[in-house]
């Protein structure tokens, strides 16, 4: 029993050591431009405010125009506390623009959603070409050395452990049988 109590105490200490200060699942509480806003001139940046800090990681913001083109300068959004922002190219045709986001919550879970705003007067900008490719390509290059997909490793671990355990248990069976 005492061993058990000591174990529990150690476990409790370890848990509090591991715990990070923030755990919430982020919720969008505001944006600039606001959801449903009607603007005469396009914004130079889009800011999204959350109720909790956003973690560094693959935070993505897109701005999709009436024709389906991308207008965000870069998909890799900058994080400042609870706010995520990205710069926007000069907008083009009048109409509804959709700001899509997928950000890393304070608890590490990705959260996604969208807000929209309407451009009432057409600007003279052009859609950014290749907007979708910017995010994934940026950090994917350095991983060429780890060529095998990870599930192969996991299956390998499973097979090796399985064989190992069977072998050891079979060896163990003899000692167990002679002992008991």
Partner 1 sequence: MSARTTTVAPRAGAPATRYALFGCIGVGAPAGVLAALALTTTAAVPGIVEPGAAVVVGLPLARALLDLSALTTVGMSLLPKFVGFDQPERTAKATAVARRVAVWSSVLWLVAALASLEFQTANFSPGQPVTLSAIGDYVREIGSGQALLIVAGCALLYLVIGVLAVRRGETVPAELRITVSMFALLPLPATGHAADAASAWHDLTMISMELHVVGAVLWTGGLLAVIMVLGTNRALLADALPGYSKLATVCVFLTAVTGALNGWFELYLTPGVHWYVALFATGYGRILIGKIICVAAAGLLGAHVRFRLLPAIRQRKATAVAGWAAAEVAVMGVAFGLAAVLVQAPVVS
| 58 lines the binding site for partner 1 (CB under 8 A) | yes
Which of 40/67 has CB closer to partner 1?
Answer: 67
| CA atoms within a 13 Å half-sphere pointing along the CA-CB vector of 140 | 5
In 24-149, alpha helices (H): 134-140
The interface with partner 1 within residues 6-45 (CB under 8 A) comprises: 7-8, 10-12, 14-16, 18-27, 29
Which of 40/129 has CB closer to partner 1?
Answer: 129
Which of 47/86 has CB closer to partner 1?
Answer: 86
In 39-149, alpha helices (H): 134-140
Q: Binder to partner 1 among 41, 44, 120, 139 (CB under 8 A)?
A: 139
Provide the token pair at 55. Answer: 């973690």
| 130 lines the binding site for partner 1 (CB under 8 A) | no
| CA atoms within a 13 Å half-sphere pointing along the CA-CB vector of 39 | 22
The interface with partner 1 within residues 156-175 (CB under 8 A) comprises: 157-158, 161-162, 165-166, 168-169, 171-172, 175
Considering CB under 8 A, how many residues would be counted as binding partner 1? 80
The interface with partner 1 within residues 88-117 (CB under 8 A) comprises: 98, 100-102, 104-114
Query: Pairing mode, if any, of strands 37-39 and 110-119?
Result: parallel
CA distance 130 to 82: 28
* Other beta carbons within 10 Å of 68: 8
| 127 lines the binding site for partner 1 (CB under 8 A) | no
């Amino acid at each position: 029993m005492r061993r058990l109590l000591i174990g529990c105490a150690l476990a409790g200490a370890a848990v509090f050591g591991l715990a990070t200060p923030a755990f919430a699942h982020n919720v969008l509480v505001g944006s600039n431009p606001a959801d449903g806003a009607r603007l005469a001139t396009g914004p130079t940046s889009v800011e999204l405010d959350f109720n909790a800090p956003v973690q560094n990681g693959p935070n993505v913001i897109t701005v999709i125009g009436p024709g389906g083109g991308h207008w965000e300068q870069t998909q890799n959004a900058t994080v400042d506390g609870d706010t995520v922002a990205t710069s926007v190219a000069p907008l083009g045709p009048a109409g509804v623009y959709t700001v899509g986001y997928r950000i890393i919550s304070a608890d590490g879970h990705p959260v996604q959603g969208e807000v929209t705003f309407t451009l009432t007067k057409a600007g003279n900008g052009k859609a950014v070409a290749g907007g979708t490719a910017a995010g994934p390509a940026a950090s994917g290059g350095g991983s060429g050395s780890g060529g095998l997909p990870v599930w192969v490793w996991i299956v390998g671990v499973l097979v090796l452990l399985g064989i190992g355990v069977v072998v050891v248990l079979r060896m163990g069976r003899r000692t167990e049988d002679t002992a008991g």
